[in-house]
A and B are shown apart, each in its own frame.
Chain A
Amino acid sequence: MAVNPFDYVKAINEKRPIDNHSGYTPFLSNRAFSYNLDTILAANEMNKYPDLPPEVQFAFMNEAIRKGRRYSSWYKEQDTPNLEIVMQFFGYSKAKALEALQVLTQENLKEIKERMDTGGR
């Protein structure tokens, strides 16, 4: 039976073994453990070796992390209005578009939107 990726996080926190590693997503687990001071360095060790088999990564985390209850709220990226339109207009990546957005004025954005408007519904 498939296991939810976050069940592995719970299992590591409880130091409970899981036999089925098919649903283990190292990126998500490591990200989850990056929100706690006592687990971030262990998570970063596995972050360095993403190509290790999932069962090895799970075993490492299960051994390296102390049993405990950990709660954390994940950082939610703010929606950036006009990001898509700037990416499309200049052919930029997200990072470049975010930089450009800090320079573009509301008037510029209005004009860009008008230029990008191809008509129709």
Chain B
Amino acid sequence: MTDKFLWVERYAPQTIDECILPEKLKEEFSNIETVPNMLLIGDAGVGKTTVAKVLCETLNIDFMMMNASTERGIDDVRNKIDSFASTTSLTGGYKVLLLDEADNLTQDAQKALRALIEQYQNNCRFVLTCNYPYKLIDPLRSRLQEYCFTYPLNDSSIQTLFTKRLLEILTTEKVNLKKEDVPVLKSLVRMCYPNWRKCIHELQRITTSGEVNASLVNQLKENHISTLFELMKVKNFSKVREWVAENMSQGVAPQEIISLVFREMTNHMTVPSAAMLSTELAQYQYWSGRVADQELNTTAMCVSIMMNAEWQ
């Protein structure tokens, strides 16, 4: 029902083979015959939820999906999860509870979930996805098999595969394709990599007119991070603060901002300055998944750049 509106839903992979993943990870998932209790870790849009759904569907397992960003309390675990996990599957075998964005669960809910995993281990398996594994308590993590969705930095073979996937989508959608659109698509993939969800959303957005609108991709590039660099260059703290708050409230992940700053900093500051700042930025990246307030950590990173960078 939901696949009518969004291409990310309509063109979601149906098998592990169709998923675009790092080679090693793909091999591991292809070999899974029985779903274990799993924790899928990775940045936004890399395919964690898709892989979990595909595994359940290809292995023909009854599954229920819950999003822990909206159902995160102990009552949700006690009522909804408990009643699902305690009943047997109608098709026989075990069931799977897919708990998306599990790092949003409260501490109490995590403790309750830990007990349920033990209690219903013969009846139900738990597949959790998260961006920040450090927010999960150790006793819960130790009960789950961890899979990290780590993509190599700027891997051209994966990017080529994804560009091909975009071309397939555009052909199916009967978008008027021209030869000069291919570099535009490559640029889009490079810009979004490895956030495939964002990439497909942007593809849908730039082709609403029935053909690829290259100017929208360029606009996207400019809006992305150059504004932030300009504001940091003129040391306009209040505007930098506002930029971070506004972007994060619109759903831009802090990890994405930090990655973009890493990627673009040599275009804005001197090479020695960028080199010196890289270890400091790595610290902010490290803390990003551990701090209480990510908006504050991201702004603090911008302040460090503002204070220490030598601009071109």
Instruction: Spell out A's residues near B (CB within 8 Å).
Output: 26-27, 30-31, 34-35, 37, 40-41, 43-44, 47-48, 50, 75, 77-78, 87, 89-100, 102-105, 108, 111-112, 115
Contacts and interface: CB of A to CB of B under 8 A. Distances in A.
B251 interface: yes
B297 A102 contact: no
A100 B200 CA distance: 10
Contacts, number: 97
A50 B291 contact: yes
B292 A50 contact: yes
A99 B242 contact: no
A99 B198 contact: yes
Interface stretch (B25-33, B63-71, B158-166): B63-71
A37 to B, nearest CB: 5
Contact of B6 (A44, A48, A103): A103
Contacts of B69: 93-95
Per DSSP, are chain A's interface residues mostly helix, strand or loop, or mixed?
A: helix
A72 B24 CA distance: 50
B297 A104 contact: no
B290 A94 contact: no
Given A48-B287, A90-B6, A95-B69, 18 more contacts: A34-B293, A40-B296, A44-B291, A44-B296, A44-B300, A47-B291, A75-B246, A75-B249, A91-B65, A91-B67, A93-B70, A93-B100, A94-B69, A95-B44, A99-B197, A100-B6, A103-B6, A104-B5
A102 B237 CA distance: 28
Contact of B201 (A94, A100, A111): A100
A78 B6 CA distance: 24
A77 B242 CA distance: 11
Contacts of A40: 296, 299-300, 303
Interface string B284-298: 000100111101110
